[in-house]
Amino acid sequence: MAIVYNFSAGPAVMPKEVLEKVQRELLSYKNSGMSVMEISHRSSLFADIQKNAEGNLRKLMNIPDEYDVLFLQGGATLQFTMAPMNLAINKKKIDFVDTGHWAQRAIEEARLVDGIEVTQITSGADSKYTSLPEIDDSLQEDADYVHITLNNTIEGTAFKIVPTFKEVPIIGDMSSNILGQRYNVTDFGMIYAGAQKNIGPAGLTVVIIRHDLVEKSPDLPAMLSYKKLVAKNSTLNTPPVFAIYCAGLVFEWLLAQGGVDEMEKRNRKKSKLLYDYLDSSSVFQSPVAIESRSLTNIPFVTGNAELDKQFIALANDNNLVGLKGHRLVGGMRASLYNAFPIEGVEKLITVMEKFELEHKEVD
Ligand SMILES: *Cc1c(COP(=O)(O)O)cnc(C)c1O
């Protein structure tokens, strides 16, 4: 089998060792004679899988005891609705930091929740979201929480430092850089992430939430209620058993590799290679302001849609797949998640250099 480097933004590359382990255990999990896909979510086999997954995630992210960990479904997108319903309950106001597409999606969904007032306290729209907006305490209004998208998967920007907003909790969408760089959980009231970018297969959403916020949340239909889901330890109904199992294996893999700090080191090295090349190239450029650049999602362009297309075709011929940029921004995008090996970045740059030599004259 040829080596394929998968730059897709999500679902995305998973560690090969994890996939091999899944393969080895697929037909008979722990000598049970059953696949993980076939075991009961009420069995002790699954209870152990979930307990270990949660324990390892707590270790990786230093999650304190006063935070609950939930394994849910509905993607990050359902959290755009659940967070407002559960947490915007006193002032019924949410402040949003508008950093692009996913922040906008979160804003749109919050607006649909009855009786909630939504404010964009700052926006990167002026820069077409190629840089992050300035944030300071004075921006904060009298809201139940502030919502921030930590890593903007499409635009390729990321917050390195989490802003503080006095007493108001921060709810963070960490879908595309959870476990890829160090953040302090205690800076947040809640963190959520769809699994299919930096964790595992689609179908799982991780929610990390401070317990006092759970306690205060109102009575809601069960599947929309953090309180009821926490009370049932995420198994109020059938959880995504296979996705949780795979996520658990990824967490084990991350610990064996050296944890989040080691991942951040590798992600810095991988992204620096590509950014350094982009900043020196006469054909390719990064549209993103240097201080706002993401470690995990790196958009780049030639400035010519036809050349972009030719490059994507050449990359595909070289087994570099998933590089087509998001339809909203065009160009190319390299997603360098935890499981993406540095060799793939080196190969990408080699192919870009070759393309550059052939197209230098074209303007
Ligand atoms: C992919 C993504 C989402 C949407 O995730 P789903 O799990 O598909 O709902 C939300 N926010 C960010 C930052 C993302 O990258």
**pLDDT given for residue 38 in this prediction:** 97
In this model, does residue 362 exceed pLDDT 80? no
**pLDDT given for residue 141 in this prediction:** 63
Q: What percent of the chain has pLDDT over 70?
A: 98
Q: How far is the CA of 358 from the centre of ligand 1 (A)?
A: 37
In this model, does residue 294 exceed pLDDT 80? yes
Last residue of a domain, one of 242, 257, 272: 257
Residue 8 lies in a domain: no
User: What's the mean per-residue pLDDT of the chain?
Assistant: 96
CATH of the domain at 267: 3.90.1150.10
Last residue of a domain, one of 215, 232, 257: 257
**pLDDT given for residue 288 in this prediction:** 97
Looking at the fold, whether 225 and 346 belong to one and the same domain comes out as: no
Q: Which amino acid, one-letter code, is at 347? A: K
**pLDDT given for residue 120 in this prediction:** 94
Residue 4 lies in a domain: no
Residue with the nearest Cα to atom 10 of ligand 1? 76
Q: What is the pLDDT of residues 77-125, one digit of tens each?
A: 999 999 999 999 999 999 999 999 999 999 999 999 999 999 999 999 9
Looking at the fold, whether 164 and 72 belong to one and the same domain comes out as: yes
Domain that holds residue 266: 259-359
Looking at the fold, whether 101 and 209 belong to one and the same domain comes out as: yes
Does residue 197 carry a catalytic annotation? yes
**pLDDT given for residue 361 in this prediction:** 60
Pairing status of strand 157-158 against strand 151-152: antiparallel
Residue 351 lies in a domain: yes
Sign of the Cα pseudo-torsion (6, 8, 11, 15, in order) = positive
Does 135 or 95 have the greater pLDDT score?
95
**pLDDT given for residue 189 in this prediction:** 97
Min mean pLDDT across 91-105, 130-144, 277-291, 295-309 is at 130-144
Nearest alpha carbon to residue 168 among 149, 193, 191, 187 = 187
In this model, does residue 1 exceed pLDDT 90? no
- If one counts the domains in the chain, the total is 2
Last residue of a domain, one of 257, 277, 295: 257
109 lines ligand 1 (CB under 6 A): no
Looking at the fold, whether 108 and 150 belong to one and the same domain comes out as: yes
Helix pair angle (305-317, 342-359), 10° resolution: 130
* Confidence tier at 31 by pLDDT (50, 70, 90): very high
Write down the catalytic residue from 173, 227, 253, 324: 173
Q: What is the mean pLDDT of residues 201-228?
A: 98
Looking at the fold, whether 73 and 186 belong to one and the same domain comes out as: yes
Looking at the fold, whether 141 and 270 belong to one and the same domain comes out as: no
Looking at the fold, whether 103 and 155 belong to one and the same domain comes out as: yes
Minimum-distance ligand 1 atom for the alpha carbon of 176: 15
**pLDDT given for residue 310 in this prediction:** 97
Looking at the fold, whether 204 and 84 belong to one and the same domain comes out as: yes
Residue 7 lies in a domain: no
Residue 335 lies in a domain: yes
Does residue 98 carry a catalytic annotation? no
Min mean pLDDT across 24-28, 142-146, 187-191, 210-214 is at 142-146
Residue 9 lies in a domain: no
* Confidence tier at 256 by pLDDT (50, 70, 90): very high
Looking at the fold, whether 44 and 156 belong to one and the same domain comes out as: yes
Residue with the nearest Cα to atom 13 of ligand 1? 175
In this model, does residue 55 exceed pLDDT 60? yes
* Confidence tier at 319 by pLDDT (50, 70, 90): very high
206 lines ligand 1 (CB under 6 A): no
Residue with the nearest Cα to atom 2 of ligand 1? 175
In this model, does residue 315 exceed pLDDT 90? yes
Looking at the fold, whether 355 and 337 belong to one and the same domain comes out as: yes
Looking at the fold, whether 225 and 351 belong to one and the same domain comes out as: no
Three-state SS sequence of the chain: CCCCEECCCCCCCCCHHHHHHHHHHCCCHHHCCCCCCCCCCCCHHHHHHHHHHHHHHHHHHCCCCCEEEEEECCHHHHHHHHHHHHHCCCCCEEEEEECCHHHHHHHHHHHCCCCCEEEEEEECHHHCCCCCCCCCHHHCCCCCEEEEECEECCCCEECCCCCCCCCCCEEEECCCCCCCCCCCHHHCCEEEEECCCCCCCCCCEEEEEEHHHHHHCCCCCHHHCHHHHHHCCCCCCCCCHHHHHHHHHHHHHHHHHCHHHHHHHHHHHHHHHHHHHHHHCCCCECCCCHHHECCCEEEEECCCHHHHHHHHHHHHHCCEECCECCCCCCCEEEECCCCCCHHHHHHHHHHHHHHHHHHCCCC
Residue 313 lies in a domain: yes
Looking at the fold, whether 308 and 222 belong to one and the same domain comes out as: no
Residue 2 lies in a domain: no
- Distance between CA atoms of residues 77 and 105, nearest Å: 8
Q: What is the mean pLDDT of residues 271-276?
A: 98
The model carries a pTM of 0.97
Q: What percent of the chain has pLDDT over 90?
A: 93
